[in-house]
């Protein structure tokens, strides 16, 4: 295939080409199986270097028991990925972050070593990790395997790609909810069926028509081994590789002016939207006949959360939107829903 030959193989004087690929979908949709098959196929057919970073394998198991820590671990993993990207782009050794969760970093390093992306001879005590020839001598695709059910989670990866002018694409593994539930039930450590149902209700599929940054996206039926699916996949991946996101340096004064104008508008819209969400949540809690005392506490916590989000937007403290360089109302709402749901679950558990 001629398009494949154009990006195949050997190292040249051109800058290293790389793509961050978000693989998203419900739990038990077959993402990990698909990622392994895609990795093997791209290595054999196009001669690319491919790394699969499965969040379930790298993030601590404790994150399932402490959802409040979940977002922090995701942010930390993005920092790990950034250190690897910097090493690939600059053709140097990868350095360890100054502060890190040791067990998570060790699993991340093991993940890269097992896929021949960093040298197995790396001396971890020196906190420097040489890249392999594989990682720097051919096009590199990094597949991030997770649910990524909120748009805001995927947007963080897009921002990372934009920061380093790399390619970006999304693959949504489209699998029926009932099939996911059946597969999940057969796993050694299944998730609660309720969790998968909740994700199915909340999942925000890639929407290229609405969001320009999601333009390079493809919904893939499971399994996706047909020749037609492979052709579409090949076209998407090569297009993303050959069209990295441009990191545009803007006039700082104009950028600050635009930010202030945008922040004012976003703040007003966010205030109205978050008020409606809190009001609707309280109505639902009353309809579920939550105890009056719990209703009072829930209202206090939700209003406090709303105030903190608005202050975060106003001051740019980034407590909640800690990876955002630009703020989009949809991202604010998605993050707010996530934090709000954690609070609501706590109060409903008190009922029983």
Q: What is the pLDDT of residues 14-70, one digit of tens each?
A: 457 899 999 999 999 999 999 998 999 899 988 999 999 999 889 877 555 555 677
Phi and psi based region of residue 168 (left: phi greater than 0; alpha: psi -120 to 50; beta: remaining): beta
> 245: exposed, middle or buried (C-beta count within 10 Å: 0-12, 13-18, 19+)?
buried
For residues 286 and 153, state if they share a domain: no
Q: Does 7 score more than 70 pLDDT?
A: no
Phi and psi based region of residue 25 (left: phi greater than 0; alpha: psi -120 to 50; beta: remaining): left
Q: How many Cα atoms within 13 Å fall on the side-chain side of residue 275?
A: 6
Average pLDDT over the chain, rounded to an integer: 82
For residues 266 and 202, state if they share a domain: no
pLDDT band at 326 (very low <50, low <70, confident <90, very high): very low
For residues 75 and 162, state if they share a domain: yes
Per-residue pLDDT reduced to its tens digit, 103-159: 999 999 999 999 999 988 766 667 789 999 989 889 999 999 999 988 989 999 999
Q: Which pLDDT belongs to residue 51?
A: 95
pTM above 0.85, yes or no: no
Q: Which pLDDT belongs to residue 116?
A: 93
* Range(s) of the domain holding residue 343: 252-347
Nearest CA among 51, 213, 220, 78 for reference residue 139: 51
For residues 93 and 126, state if they share a domain: yes
Number of domains the chain contains: 2
Among 214, 242, 270, identify where a domain stops: 242
First to last CA, the chain: 61
Q: Which pLDDT belongs to residue 273?
A: 87
For residues 267 and 324, state if they share a domain: yes
Structural domain contains residue 2:
no
């Amino acid at each position: 295939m001629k398009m494949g030959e154009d990006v195949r193989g050997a190292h040249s004087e051109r800058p290293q080409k790389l793509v961050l690929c978000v693989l998203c979908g419900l739990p038990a949709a077959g993402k990990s199986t698909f990622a392994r098959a895609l990795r093997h196929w791209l290595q054999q057919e196009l001669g690319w270097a491919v790394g699969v970073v499965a969040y379930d394998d790298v993030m601590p198991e404790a994150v399932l028991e402490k959802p409040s820590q979940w977002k922090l671990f995701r942010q930390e993993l993005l920092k790990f990925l950034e250190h690897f990207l910097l090493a690939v782009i600059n053709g140097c050794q990868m350095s360890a972050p100054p502060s890190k969760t040791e067990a998570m970093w060790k699993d991340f390093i093991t993940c890269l070593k097992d896929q021949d992306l960093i040298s197995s001879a790396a001396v971890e005590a020196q906190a420097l990790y040489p890249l392999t020839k594989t990682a720097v001598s051919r096009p590199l695709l990094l597949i991030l395997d997770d649910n990524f059910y909120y748009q805001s989670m995927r947007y963080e990866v897009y921002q990372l790609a934009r920061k380093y002018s790399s390619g970006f694409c999304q693959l949504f593994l489209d699998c029926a909810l009932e099939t996911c539930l059946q597969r999940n039930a057969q796993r050694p450590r299944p998730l609660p069926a309720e969790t998968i149902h909740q994700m199915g209700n909340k999942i925000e599929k890639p929407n290229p028509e609405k969001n320009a940054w999601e333009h390079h996206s493809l919904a893939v039926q499971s399994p996706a081994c047909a020749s037609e699916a492979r052709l579409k996949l090949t076209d998407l991946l090569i297009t993303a590789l050959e069209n990295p996101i441009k990191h545009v340096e803007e006039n700082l004064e104009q950028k600050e002016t635009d930010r202030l104008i945008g922040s004012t508008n976003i703040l007003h819209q966010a205030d109205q939207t978050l008020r409606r969400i809190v009001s609707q949540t309280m109505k639902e809690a009353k309809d579920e006949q939550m105890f009056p005392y719990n209703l009072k506490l829930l209202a206090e916590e939700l209003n406090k959360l709303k105030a903190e989000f608005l202050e975060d937007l106003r001051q740019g403290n980034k407590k909640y939107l800690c990876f955002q360089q630009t703020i989009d109302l949809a991202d604010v709402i998605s993050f707010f829903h996530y934090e709000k749901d954690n609070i609501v679950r706590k109060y409903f558990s008190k009922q029983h």
